[in-house]
Amino acid sequence: MAGLIEKTMLVGLGVLTLTRDKVKQFVDKLVEEGDVKAEEAPGIVDKLVARGEEEREELRKLVRQELDKARANIPLVSRKDIEELGQKIDALAAKMDALAGEKPTKKQAGSERV
């Protein structure tokens, strides 16, 4: 699962780094080399930029889906849960203190014998 997320993010990051300026530079170079006609260049730039935006959105959706799946499998603890546990700990500590006051410990019992 983590491998899928990592691969998808790396592909998405590659597309995300393609800004309009970089795409334009790349297409201009293709025009200079004769691989693309000058009149086709603006359309190609627009298509590549649009594709990058689509890929970016797909990556966001995939990351959201994977995070939602992960959250569904991890029980979350609320602040209320923590406060309730703190209260229980305080109550148990108070009971222990009360019990310690009623019964002498082994050390206290041994020192009374002397």
Structural domain spans, the chain: 1-76, 77-114
pLDDT digits (tens, 9 = 90+) for 14-63: 555 567 788 888 888 888 988 888 898 898 888 888 888 888 888 889 98
Q: Is 27 exposed, middle or buried (0-12, 13-18, 19+ CB in 10 A)?
A: buried
Q: Which pTM was predicted?
A: 0.47
CA angle 97, 103, 107 (to 5 degrees): 100
Please answer whether residues 31 and 37 qualify as being in contact, where contact means their C-beta atoms are separated by less than 8 angstroms.
yes
| Confidence label for 2 from pLDDT (cuts 50, 70 and 90) | very low
